[in-house]
Amino acid sequence: MAEKKVPQTDGAKLRRIAEERLRGNIENEPRLPYEQQRLFHELQVHQIELEMQNDELHQSRADLETVLGKYTDLYEFASVGYVTLDRKGIIHTINLTGASLLGADRFHLNRSRFERLVVETARPGFAAYLEGVFSNQGAKTYELELLKAGVLSIEAVLTDSGRECRIALLDSSERKEAEALRRVAEAATGALLKVEVAAAEALLKIEETLLAPQNVNAEIKIALLKLEKSAKVARLKVKTAAEVAAACFGANETTEATQNLAKAAEAARLKLEKVAEVAQQKVLTAAQVAFRKLTILESERARVKSVLLESEERFRLLVDGVKDYAIFMLDVDGCVISWNEGAKRLKGWDEQEILGRHFSLFYTEDAVAAGHPGQELEIAASVGRHEEEGWRVCKDGSRFMATVLITPIRNEFGSLKGFSKITRDITERKQAEETLKRYAQLLIEQEENLRKSIARELHDDVGQELTALGLNLAYIDKFLLAEAGIDLRPTLKDSRMLAKDINRTVRNLMNALRPCQLDEYGLAPAIRTYVEQYAQRTGLAVTVHAPSDFPRMCPQKEIALFRVTQEALNNVVKHAAATTVAIILASNDVPSIRLSITDDGKGLAPWVSPPPTGSGHGLTTMRERAELVGGKFRLDTAPGKGTSIVIDLSAGQ
């Protein structure tokens, strides 16, 4: 526009151009006097100048209108909304962007109060802001929340006249995008939280429901593990998605980038929601499976419980029905927690008065002082049972000999819950056993006495008589030979030989019945003598080791050990196929002695040890013989490993 004005202001140039154009028409000019001619020329020049200026003005107007259109478009469609308000807040002008931002058409907005577009709570603040603007306090940015447009950033400036202010409405798409992203982030975080909470709750519930009882079956455990794994994977995926979203928000700088980030965030959100959904579904499915199994399990438990109750009832009836045995239970500390009729009958305590009391009541004072009751429980708990025979005390203080079996009771997880105790009065049996033992010992003594008596008679009568017979026959042989003639000599010789043979037989019989050495010299000499004859008879190499001061014992013990030795040596020759036998007699200062008879034979099969009754090896007899005199019998044997019989015995009376 400035260039178009130049010809107007440059009058000389305009005249020069006008005169050049007039010069082209000069031939047509009428012949006028000079003054008239000059005036006419001046008029023509001015006419041309005016025409030229008129053309320029048209051109300028067209240009101006074009520019105005452009500026109008710029104003109307600016990315910023513009609105002009007076002091009263009346809208005087507003561009299309502004109207669009405010969510109304411009027609209705013009001449309306801007304040009506502002949310009510923000109106006092806006009024103060506006007042500040009109007080010429300079332009400043203000966040204003509008009814339809939400929060906008506004910036107002006072016009030159000071009667109006122009407000720029910043429709910040970045802000909107940021808001959208924030919502996405919130959604992502919410989804993540939701998934985590759902997974945690599901796990917790399942763990509480299923894991608390230790008997959750393997399938449920596996399902639970799968569930945990799924939840972990889901959490990981969600976390990854959230991190992607967070990264996108952090990089939010440009509009294009923002759009990309928004897309990425949306994708992350969708992915996250899908993952969350899948995870939740997995959790749900696993939980359903687990609950189904739990239901089955509970149903089975109920059935088992019912069966157990029935069984318990039957057991209770059985236990209560037992009268000859005291059957009761102890808690882990040894206090009585159940009591049957047999216990009442045996020990004299009623159920009500004994429940809760410690079972050491049933023991003798000595046993309690020695801590025996507690030791019994410890042994039972450690080895699985404890059995013994011993004296027990009744309520009235009387005693009875009892056989006791204590068994630990454990729950399904192996925890000790208490003990069952079965007690039986074996006083009569024990007395019978003692009587039997006495009779057995008596029988043995009688037998030994009989043997001794027979041996003595053989020695004192038969042996001496045979000796006498031999002397007589020798005498006859010497003096009657000549008169008796030749026919009697062989008979006499036979008779003398016969007398010797009978004497030898009697001697062997004496030894077999009762070795005289046993009574005269004791066990070791008796064994040596017996072994000597045994070795001659069997051909086995038998050694006897005994200290020179090996003590004498009571006759019952000596004869018992001697008989055991005899029986063991008989076994060796009958069954062992041994080549050597070692007999060792040892003693110590206690004094106690040990007798061992060891062979290198084929040994015994395991089922013979411990010795069964009637095994044919005389083991039971040997054991009984040893035990009758208080000895402890032990048999060590294995196929191919020989056999060793060991007896430990007190050397006292």
Q: Which one, 291 or 550, has the nearer CB to another protein?
A: 550
Q: Which is nearer to another protein, 36 or 467 (CB)?
A: 467
Closer residue to another protein, CB minimum distance, 82 or 550: 550
Prior bond of 591 cis (ω within 30°): yes
Of 506 and 619, which CB lies nearer to another protein in the complex structure?
506
Q: In degrees rounded to 5, what are phi and psi of residue 68?
A: -60, -40
CB of 478 to another protein, least distance (A): 7
Nearest distance from C-beta of residue 561 to another protein, angstroms:
16
Q: Identity (one letter) of the amino acid at 43?
A: L
Span 44-63, contacts to another protein by CB under 8 A: none
Task: Kindly tell me which of 287 and 553 has the beta carbon lying closer to another protein.
Answer: 553
Contact yes or no for 238/191 (Cβ under 8 A): yes
Could you give the CA distance from residue 227 to residue 199 in angstroms, rounded to a whole number?
9
The DSSP code for 118 is: B
Q: Are 526 and 558 in contact (CB under 8 A)?
A: yes
- Rg over CA atoms, the chain: 66
Distance of CA 590 to the CA centre of its chain: 54
User: Minimum distance between the CB of residue 525 and another protein, rounded to whole angstroms?
Assistant: 4
Q: Is 472 in the site for another protein (CB under 8 A)?
A: yes
**CA angle 273–278–283, rounded 5-degree value:** 125
Q: Which single residue is written with the structure tokens 């005249």?
A: 15
Nearer to another protein, 141 or 508 (CB): 508
Residue list 499-538, contact with another protein (CB under 8 A): 499-500, 503-504, 506-507, 510-511, 516-517, 520-521, 524-526, 528-529, 532-533, 536
Q: Report the residue number, 207 or 465, with the smaller CB distance to another protein.
A: 465
Q: How far is the CB of 511 from another protein (least distance, A)?
A: 8
How far apart (Å, rounded) are the C-alpha atoms in residues 472 and 480?
11
Q: Which of residues 479-498 bind another protein (CB under 8 A)?
A: 496
Whole-angstrom distance, CA of residue 293 vs CA of residue 203 = 16
| Closer Cβ to another protein, 81 or 463, answer by number | 463
Q: In sequence order, which residues have a C-beta less than 8 Å from that of residue 262 and are 6 or more positions away?
A: 177, 180, 181, 184, 248
Q: Binding-site residue total for another protein (CB under 8 A)?
A: 40
- Quick check: 475 binds another protein (CB under 8 A)? yes
| Of residues 286 and 469, the one with the C-beta less far from another protein | 469
Prior bond of 33 cis (ω within 30°): no
Binders of another protein in range 405-464 (CB under 8 A)? 459-460, 463-464
- Per CB under 8 A, contacts with another protein among 235-264 are none
What is the C-alpha to C-alpha distance for residues 466 and 457, in angstroms, rounded to an integer? 12
Cβ closest to another protein, residue 400 vs residue 521: 521
Q: Does 466 bind another protein (CB under 8 A)?
A: yes
Least distance between another protein and beta carbon 642 (Å) = 24
Closest to 233 measured CA to CA, from 268, 282, 190, 273: 282
The residue from 121, 382, 548, 613 that contacts another protein (CB under 8 A) is 548
Instruction: By CB under 8 A, tell whether 566 contacts another protein.
Output: no
541 makes contact with another protein (CB under 8 A)? no
Nearest approach in angstroms of CB 421 to another protein is 52
Query: At its nearest, how many Å lie between another protein and the CB of residue 479?
Result: 9
What part of residues 311-370 is at the interface with another protein (CB under 8 A)? none
The least CB distance from residue 634 to another protein, in Å, is: 25
Cα–Cα–Cα angle for 362, 363, 365, nearest 5°?
Answer: 130
CB of 546 to another protein, least distance (A): 6
Strand locations in 21-149, DSSP E? 80-86, 91-94, 141-146
Report if residue 128 touches another protein, rule: CB under 8 A.
Answer: no
Write out the DSSP string of 311-354.
HHHHHHHHHHH--SEEEEEE-TTSBEEEE-HHHHHHH---HHHH
Shortest gap between Cβ of 512 and another protein (angstroms)? 13
With a CB cutoff of 8 Å and minimum separation 6, the contacts of 235 are 195, 196, 199, 279
| Least Å from the CB of residue 454 to another protein | 14
Residue closer to another protein, measured from CB, 210 or 510: 510
Instruction: Quote the crossing angle between the two packed helices 427-457 and 488-513, to the nearest 10°.
Output: 160
What is the three-class DSSP state of 242?
Answer: helix
CB of 612 to another protein, least distance (A): 36
Find how far residue 538's CA is from the centre of its chain. 68
Find the binder of another protein among 32, 64, 474, 577 (CB under 8 A). 474
Please identify, using beta-carbon distances, which residue of 372 and 507 lies nearer to another protein: 507
DSSP string covering 267-291, please?
HHHHHHHHHHHHHHHHHHHHHHHHH
Whichever of 198 and 535 has its CB closer to another protein, that residue is: 535
Least distance from another protein to the Cβ atom of residue 484, Å: 17
Pairwise CA distance, residues 374 & 650, whole Å: 30
- Minimum Å gap between C-beta 579 and another protein is 20
Q: How far is CA 433 from CA 167, 402, 428, 439, in A?
A: 123, 13, 8, 10
In the complex with another protein, the residue whose CB is nearer, 290 or 531, is 531
For another protein, the closer of residues 166 and 459 by Cβ is 459
DSSP string spanning 410-477? E-TT--EEEEEEEEEE-HHHHHHHHHHHHHHHHHHHHHHHHHHHHHHHIIIIIIHHHHHHHHHHHHHH
CB of 514 to another protein, least distance (A): 12
- Residue 596, interface with another protein (CB under 8 A)? no
Binding site for another protein (CB under 8 A): 459-460, 463-468, 470-475, 478, 496, 499-500, 503-504, 506-507, 510-511, 516-517, 520-521, 524-526, 528-529, 532-533, 536, 546-548, 550
